[in-house]
Amino acid sequence: MSVDGEAVRVEVAAAQPDEPGWEIDPDDDWALAVVATVGRQLRLRREAAGLRVGEFAVAVGYGEDLVYKIEGGKRIPRPEFLDTADEVLGAGGSSPR
């Protein structure tokens, strides 16, 4: 698989269970807004790169379900996820983090 002509990682990581502390507190309006914005930006960059969720999930080494949760603003992305997404999408450090 390639993004902008560059090879990207395609191995599938083991399923990663949800960990406590990485879910959104429904009463924290500020956190909800920030995480929703990060998810929207990630989805826009993924779509601009021409990647479907499944392709992107494989490239970043995470499951499709987690990508959907992050893009939907339902899950706080870990810094490692954002760093890898930045590399895969060729965002040059401008991915949300």
Q: How many CB atoms lie within 10 A of CB 91?
A: 18
User: What letter does residue 74 receive in the DSSP assignment?
Assistant: S
Q: Are 82 and 67 in contact (CB under 8 A)?
A: no
What confidence category does residue 21 fall into, taking pLDDT thresholds of 50, 70 and 90? low
Residue 27 or residue 12, greater confidence: 27
Name 16's Cβ contacts closer than 8 Å, sequence gap at least 6: 62, 63, 66
**Residue 97 pLDDT more than 60?**
no
Name the pTM for this structure: 0.72
Burial class (CB in 10 A: 0-12, 13-18, 19+), 83: middle
User: What letter does residue 49 receive in the DSSP assignment?
Assistant: T
